[in-house]
Amino acid sequence: MSRLKGDHMAMDDSSRCAAAPSAAVGEEEECTNAVEEQRCVLDDSHKELRDDDFWRQIPAYADLSASEFHDHRFQSRNCVTSARKLRQVLGDRVPDSFYADVEAGVRGSTMSLRLSPYLLSLVDWDAPETDPIRTQFLPLASRFRPDHPELHFDSLNEQADSPVPGLIHRYHDRALLLALDTCPVYCRFCTRSYSVGLDTEGVEKVHFGATLERWEQAFEYIRQHPEIEDVVVSGGDMYNLRAEQVALLGNSLLDIDHVRRFRYATKGPAVLPQKLITDHDWVEAVASVAEEGRRRHKQVALHTHFNHASEITAITRQGLDRLLERGIIVRNQAVLQRGVNDDVQSMRRLIRRLSYLNVQPYYVFVHDMVRGVEELRTTLQTAIDLEKQVRGATAGFNIPAFILDTMGGGGKRHVHSHEQYDRDTGIAVFSSPVVRPGRRFFYFDPIHELGAEARARWADADERAGMINSARQAASA
């Protein structure tokens, strides 16, 4: 059963505080002050940003001053990239059994390991198994679940919509440019695990290096396609580009007349916010491109990726303030993950904390079907319930759209827009009238979230095919 249907949800739906009216059956509820009633549901914890020396809990960082720890060069050079390095940093903070679990987890992961000292220091090392930051970046083999039988590598089918290497043209007026294939951190759940990061034991990746020659092919394709008005510069992560590369890429896109807007996508502010404060050249490059865009009446924005409020501290606020001062629009795209942000309070706090720092919580994505991270996926119903529970928590323009990127290349669909969703079999069917008219696309809930009868049916190949066929027919009826 989804955690959402457990304690958190029950508490939110049924508990009422003293300020709330309690009407007897058959009576009309009194009209009381709505703001008073909301005190039962919302608190001000989203404003409480950590501002202590949190890194001193880590043996290797215990003697560092704030200025040493919050230097982006220190952060980049000291990322933890292996279980051995993790042990050097944490020492006896965790038992040997934990390191063994991580080692086995890394061996079974599709993503290489890379974790900044900042994020590592924000983990609660007294309870790492359930910590939301550990869950996203450090695999524990003991937590793994078998992949879903309908899961395919590159489940969004991006390579099929790629006319030149590292450029995806799926939506009529938008293109996705994979500018590079490295990141300041490696997320276990990365949709682009087919290309991002170093090769792992299980995956030889399709690499997209940051070369001018490859970028030039992408620019030329965009020049030849006047329908493209919007470009997402992603990867990989543009945090790893040098300032001059950021400027070259941005100005080249601005020079294409029909490109009206583009966004740099980066997880950087969530994992290494220090760069926004101490890497002046890089921030200047982004700000100059955005200013040049405004001069030409084009929009340049930055899309970032926070998943939990604990990733956002006072240093994050300082970094994001630098961007705000330069007039840069920042939007957030979160990924819904079991044990990270699938409970109401965590999601509300994330959304309100982002809003508080003037980052627009733009999307929450249902976790894609990605190899090796089945324990992180939730049901579609979890996303539907969460959307209902967060709407109203802040201004409407700061309430994210809960979106599912359909398997097989149907594009993004709102979680409520399914044509058919059988909660027993966990099969949801979507249509995509603009992107792929007339076709049907599926999403499958994690099998371990289903009842015993459905789990038995999924274990049988014929039953499996029958269930999928029935869902397709029901969606077309």
Catalytic residue ranges: 170-171, 174, 183, 187, 190, 192, 368, 405, 412
* Cβ-contact 428, 369 below 8 angstroms: no
- Chosen residue from 86, 115, 175, 190 binding ligand SF4 by CB under 6 A: 190
Asked if 449 is part of the footprint of ligand SF4 (rule: CB under 6 A), the reply reads no
Q: Is residue 471 close enough to count as binding ligand SF4 by CB under 6 A?
A: no
CA 414/CA 369 separation, integer angstroms = 17
312 binds ligand SF4 (CB under 6 A): no
Least gap, CB of 121 to ligand SF4 (angstroms): 19
Reading the block at residue 473, the tokens are 């027919």
Backbone angles phi, psi at 317, to 5 degrees: -60, -45
Instruction: Return the number of the residue (202 or 466) whose C-beta is nearest ligand SF4.
Output: 202
Residue (186 or 430) nearer to ligand SF4, CB: 186
Residue 372's identity, in one-letter code, is G
Residue 192 as a binder of ligand SF4 (CB under 6 A): the answer is: yes
Amino acid letter at 51? D
Question: Taking CB under 6 A as the rule, which mask of x and - marks residues 255-284 in contact with ligand SF4?
Answer: ------------x-----------------
Question: Using CB under 6 A as the criterion, what x/- string covers residues 194-223 for binding ligand SF4?
Answer: --x---------------------------
Closest C-alpha among 371, 215, 341 to residue 270: 341
Contacts of 431 (CB under 8 A, 6+ apart): 410, 419, 439, 440, 441, 475
440 binds ligand SF4 (CB under 6 A): no
Asked whether the beta carbons of 334 and 350 are under 8 A apart, the reply is: yes
8 A C-beta contact, residue 75 and residue 274: yes
Residue recorded with tokens 């583009």: 262
Assess 158 for contact with ligand SF4 (CB under 6 A).
no
Of residues 185 and 386, the one with the C-beta less far from ligand SF4: 185
If you ran DSSP here, which 8-state letter would residue 328 be given? -
Angle made by CA atoms 183, 186, 191, in degrees to the nearest 5:
95
Size of the site for ligand SF4 (CB under 6 A): 11
| Smallest gap from residue 371 Cβ to ligand SF4 (A) | 13
Residue 118, interface with ligand SF4 (CB under 6 A)? no
User: Quick one: which segment of 178-186, 276-284, 351-359, 407-415 binds ligand SF4 (CB under 6 A)?
Assistant: 178-186
Return the bridge partners of 404, or none. 413
Binding interface with ligand SF4 (CB under 6 A):
183, 185-187, 190, 192, 196, 235-237, 267
